[in-house]
Amino acid sequence: MSFVLPPLPYAKTALEPYLTEENIDLHYSKHHNAYVVNLNKFIDEGKVDGSKTLEEVILSSDGPVFNNAAQIWNHTFYWSSLKPGGGGAPTGALAEAINRDFGSFAKFKEEFTNAAVSQFGSGWAWLVVENGKLKVTKTGNADLPLKYSQTALLTCDVWEHAYYPTYKNLRPKYVETFLNSLANWDFAAANLAKA
């Protein structure tokens, strides 16, 4: 069995003007696809058991195999964390949980923004559930909540290829735009309901 590049949940132009078609094409067709190609090479070389699920590969590997497998998972999750007409504030059970665990949506945004902007180098900012409570966390490189028994609800990719060339080196502006105009709170709410 080999892994395939999952389709985007929308057209490459769907997130404009916040993320351009060029930005999405570079990120999805080049970076995300490269991780899929690399992991399949590891299967061909006998370094990965092709009968395992992606999550099983992630949890049982390290080094280059882990990096490529985890980046497939992270990116697939990231694409679902975005949606045309997204952003703003969540509603329902997710809004209630955010208010309960952060005090307010404004406080959540502050913590999430700080995690995303302060991540040194490449990585991810996450909204997760851990022991029944929502929290913001960040991971470097390919690392992900799955390794820490956390349930991911939403992520913002802060590798430079996520926001170049649209935002150039302005990571804070990209994170602000993610929260205000792109975040898929319906996806996060669905993940919370399954947690």
How confident is the model over 25-69, as pLDDT tens digits? Answer: 999 999 999 999 999 999 999 999 999 999 999 999 999 999 999
Which residue's entry shows tokens 């490459």?
Answer: 12
Residue range 153-182: mean pLDDT, rounded: 96
Q: Which pLDDT value is given to residue 88? A: 96
List the beta bridge partners of residue 129: 134, 151
Q: Is beta strand 133-140 parallel, antiparallel or unpaired with respect to 151-157?
A: unpaired
CB atoms within 10 A of CB 28: 18
Residue range 101-119: mean pLDDT, rounded: 98
Q: Is 80 exceeded by the pLDDT of residue 133?
A: yes
**What are the structure tokens assigned to 57, written together?**
């590969």
Handedness of CA 170, 173, 175, 181 (dihedral sign): negative
Q: The whole model's pTM is what?
A: 0.97
N- to C-terminal Cα distance for the chain? 29
**What are the structure tokens assigned to 24, written together?**
């999405």
**What are the structure tokens assigned to 48, written together?**
């990965």
Q: In the chain, what are the domains?
A: 21-80 (1.10.287.990), 92-194 (3.55.40.20)
Mean pLDDT of the chain, nearest integer: 97
Which residue's entry shows tokens 């490449």?
Answer: 122
Residue 195 to residue 101: CA distance in whole angstroms: 15
Q: Is 80 exceeded by the pLDDT of residue 1?
A: no
